[in-house]
Chain A
Amino acid sequence: MSSTRDERVDNALQQLLERLVPPQQPPETPSHADQRWDEANELARDLLDREREPGVADDVNQAADLINRRLVREGDGRPERASRFGGLYSRLLAQPVLGQKWGILYFLWRVSEGQGVDGHEIDARASVDGAVRVGRGDGEQEDEDGDEHNGEEEEEAVFDEAFARNGLPRVPKVKGSGSPRHSPMHKSSLKLPPALPVPLIALLHSLAEPSLLYRSLSEFVESSEGGLVGQSLRSAIGQELRSYLGLVATLEGQIRRALAQLDDSLPHAGLGKAGVTLKRCVIWTREATLGLRLMSMVVESTKGKKGGELISLIHNLATSHGDAFVYTFAERLLASITRPFYNMLRAWIYDGELEDPYREFFVSENTDYEDSGATSVWENKYLLKDAMIPSIVTPDFAQRVYLIGKSLNFIRYGCHDSAWVESYSKEASRELKYGDTANLGQSIDEAYKTVMARLIWLMETKFALAEHLAALKKYLLLGQGDFIALLMESLASNLDRPANSQYRHTLTAQLEHAIRNSNAQFDSPDVLRRLDARMLELSHGEIGWDVFTLEYRVDSPLDVIVTPWASKQYLKIFNFLWRVKRVEFALATTWRRVQTGARGVLGAVSDKLGADWKSARLGLAGMVHLVDQLQYYILFEVIEASWSGLQKAIQNPASGTVTLDTLISAHTAYLRSITRKGLLGGAGGVDFTAQLHELLKLMLNYRDAVDGLYSFSVAEFTKRQEMSARIETRTRAGRWGLTEADDDDDDAASAGNAKSKGAGRPRKGESFNESVAPSLLPLGGGGADGERNVLEQLRQRLRSLEVDFKARVNVLLGDLAYQPDVDMRFLGVVMNFNNVYSPARKRRPKVESHKPPAA
Chain B
Amino acid sequence: MPAADDSKRKAARETIDILHEISTLLNTNLDRQSLSYCVSLIENGVNPEALAKLIKELRVQNARYEAERGGEAASVA
Q: Could you list which residues of chain A lie within 8 angstroms of chain B, going by C-beta atoms?
A: 5, 8-9, 12-13, 15-17, 19-22, 25, 27-28, 36, 39-40, 43-44, 47-48, 50-56, 67, 70-71, 81, 84-85, 88-89, 91-92, 95-100, 103-119, 121, 140, 144
Cβ B11 vs Cβ A96 within 8 A: yes
Shortest CB–CB separation between residue A62 and chain B, in angstroms? 13
Shortest CB–CB separation between residue B44 and chain A, in angstroms? 5
| Of B12, B27, B39, B66, the contact of A104 (CB 8 Å cutoff) | B39
Decide yes or no whether B31 CB sits under 8 A from chain A.
yes
| Of B39, B44, B46, B56, the contact of A98 (CB 8 Å cutoff) | B39
Mostly helix, strand, loop or mixed at chain A's interface? helix
Report the count of interface residues on B (CB-CB < 8 A).
50
Chain A positions within 8 Å of B66 at CB level: 22
Chain B positions within 8 Å of A51 at CB level: 47, 49-50, 53
Cβ A43 vs Cβ B54 within 8 A: yes
Write the B1-43 contact mask toward A (1 if CB under 8 angstroms, else 0). 0000000100110110011011101111111011001111111
* Complex Cα gap A28–B55 (Å): 22
Knowing that A16-B41, A51-B47 touch, tell me 14 more A-B residue pairs with CB under 8 angstroms: A8-B40, A16-B34, A19-B33, A20-B34, A20-B59, A27-B72, A51-B50, A55-B49, A88-B21, A95-B18, A108-B23, A111-B52, A112-B26, A116-B27
User: Sorted from nearest, which 8 A-B pairs have the closest CB atoms?
Assistant: A110-B52, A112-B26, A107-B48, A103-B48, A51-B50, A16-B37, A103-B42, A111-B28
* Complex Cα gap A109–B11 (Å): 23
Measured CB to CB, the nearest residue on chain B to A89 is B22
Cβ A97 vs Cβ B58 within 8 A: no
Chain A positions within 8 Å of B22 at CB level: 67, 85, 88-89, 92, 105, 108
Query: If the complex has contacts A12-B44, A117-B27, are A92 and B51 also in contact, measured as CB distance less than 8 A?
Result: no
Cβ A5 vs Cβ B44 within 8 A: yes
Chain B positions within 8 Å of A85 at CB level: 22, 25
Measured CB to CB, the nearest residue on chain B to A144 is B53
Chain B positions within 8 Å of A70 at CB level: 26
Chain B positions within 8 Å of A27 at CB level: 69, 72-73, 76
Jot down 25 A-B pairs with beta carbons below 8 A, ordered by A: A5-B45, A12-B37, A12-B40, A21-B62, A27-B72, A40-B58, A43-B54, A44-B54, A47-B50, A48-B50, A51-B50, A53-B47, A67-B26, A70-B26, A88-B25, A89-B22, A98-B43, A103-B42, A106-B52, A108-B19, A111-B29, A111-B30, A112-B28, A116-B27, A140-B49
* Complex Cα gap A106–B39 (Å): 11
Cβ B50 vs Cβ A98 within 8 A: no
* Complex Cα gap A15–B37 (Å): 7
| Of B25, B40, B49, the contact of A110 (CB 8 Å cutoff) | B49
Chain B positions within 8 Å of A13 at CB level: 37, 41
Shortest CB–CB separation between residue B31 and chain A, in angstroms? 7
Shortest CB–CB separation between residue A275 and chain B, in angstroms? 13
Cβ A114 vs Cβ B62 within 8 A: no
Chain B positions within 8 Å of A55 at CB level: 49
Mostly helix, strand, loop or mixed at chain B's interface? helix
Chain A positions within 8 Å of B43 at CB level: 98-100, 103
Chain A positions within 8 Å of B38 at CB level: 16, 104, 107
Cβ A108 vs Cβ B41 within 8 A: no
* Complex Cα gap A13–B44 (Å): 11
* Complex Cα gap A20–B14 (Å): 24
What total count of A-B pairs have CB within 8 Å?
Answer: 167
Measured CB to CB, the nearest residue on chain A to B72 is A27
Chain B positions within 8 Å of A144 at CB level: 53
Chain A positions within 8 Å of B44 at CB level: 5, 8-9, 12
Shortest CB–CB separation between residue A446 and chain B, in angstroms? 64
Cβ A95 vs Cβ B29 within 8 A: no
Cβ A88 vs Cβ B18 within 8 A: yes
Query: If the complex has contacts A9-B41, A96-B11, A104-B48, are A91 and B18 also in contact, measured as CB distance less than 8 A?
Result: yes
* Complex Cα gap A113–B26 (Å): 9
Cβ B27 vs Cβ A114 within 8 A: no
* Complex Cα gap A550–B56 (Å): 115
Cβ B27 vs Cβ A92 within 8 A: no
Tell me which of A12, A109, A118 has the highest count of chain B C-beta atoms within 10 A of its own C-beta.
A12
Cβ B48 vs Cβ A106 within 8 A: yes
Chain B positions within 8 Å of A118 at CB level: 27
Measured CB to CB, the nearest residue on chain B to A14 is B37
Query: If the complex has contacts A48-B47, A53-B47, A88-B25, are A114 and B19 also in contact, measured as CB distance less than 8 A?
Result: no
Measured CB to CB, the nearest residue on chain A to B35 is A108
Query: If the complex has contacts A27-B76, A104-B19, are A19 and B37 also in contact, measured as CB distance less than 8 A?
Result: yes
* Complex Cα gap A389–B10 (Å): 66
| Of B41, B47, B52, B62, the contact of A52 (CB 8 Å cutoff) | B47
Chain A positions within 8 Å of B49 at CB level: 51, 54-56, 106-107, 110, 140
Chain B positions within 8 Å of A115 at CB level: 26-29
Chain B positions within 8 Å of A25 at CB level: 69
Cβ A20 vs Cβ B25 within 8 A: no
| Of A5, A28, A95, A98, the contact of B69 (CB 8 Å cutoff) | A28
* Complex Cα gap A5–B28 (Å): 26
Chain B positions within 8 Å of A95 at CB level: 11, 14-15, 18
Chain A positions within 8 Å of B12 at CB level: 97
Shortest CB–CB separation between residue B4 and chain A, in angstroms? 12
* Complex Cα gap A852–B65 (Å): 145
Cβ B50 vs Cβ A109 within 8 A: no
* Complex Cα gap A25–B37 (Å): 24
* Complex Cα gap A104–B38 (Å): 8
Chain A positions within 8 Å of B8 at CB level: 97
| Of A105, A119, A140, the contact of B27 (CB 8 Å cutoff) | A119
Cβ A109 vs Cβ B26 within 8 A: yes
Chain B positions within 8 Å of A22 at CB level: 62, 65-66
Chain A positions within 8 Å of B15 at CB level: 92, 95, 97-98
* Complex Cα gap A19–B29 (Å): 12
Chain B positions within 8 Å of A12 at CB level: 37, 40-41, 44
Chain B positions within 8 Å of A52 at CB level: 47
Measured CB to CB, the nearest residue on chain B to A110 is B52
Cβ A43 vs Cβ B48 within 8 A: no
Shortest CB–CB separation between residue A114 and chain B, in angstroms? 7
Measured CB to CB, the nearest residue on chain A to B66 is A22
Chain A positions within 8 Å of B52 at CB level: 106-107, 110-111, 113
| Of A40, A54, A111, the contact of B61 (CB 8 Å cutoff) | A40
* Complex Cα gap A369–B69 (Å): 107
Tell me which of A53, A67, A95, A114 has the highest count of chain B C-beta atoms within 10 A of its own C-beta.
A95
| Of B25, B29, B39, B54, the contact of A48 (CB 8 Å cutoff) | B54
| Of B11, B25, B56, B76, the contact of A71 (CB 8 Å cutoff) | B25
Cβ A97 vs Cβ B34 within 8 A: no
Chain A positions within 8 Å of B11 at CB level: 95-97
Cβ B31 vs Cβ A19 within 8 A: yes
* Complex Cα gap A98–B42 (Å): 10
Shortest CB–CB separation between residue B27 and chain A, in angstroms? 5
Chain A positions within 8 Å of B28 at CB level: 108, 111-112, 115
Shortest CB–CB separation between residue B45 and chain A, in angstroms? 7
Shortest CB–CB separation between residue B40 and chain A, in angstroms? 5
Cβ A104 vs Cβ B37 within 8 A: no
Cβ B47 vs Cβ A20 within 8 A: no
* Complex Cα gap A437–B28 (Å): 60
* Complex Cα gap A19–B46 (Å): 18
Cβ B48 vs Cβ A54 within 8 A: yes
Chain A positions within 8 Å of B47 at CB level: 48, 51-54
Measured CB to CB, the nearest residue on chain B to A7 is B44
* Complex Cα gap A53–B49 (Å): 9
Chain B positions within 8 Å of A106 at CB level: 48-49, 52
Measured CB to CB, the nearest residue on chain B to A53 is B47
Chain B positions within 8 Å of A100 at CB level: 42-43, 45, 48
Shortest CB–CB separation between residue B47 and chain A, in angstroms? 5
Cβ B69 vs Cβ A104 within 8 A: no
Chain A positions within 8 Å of B59 at CB level: 20, 121
Cβ A20 vs Cβ B55 within 8 A: yes
Cβ B26 vs Cβ A108 within 8 A: yes
* Complex Cα gap A47–B50 (Å): 6
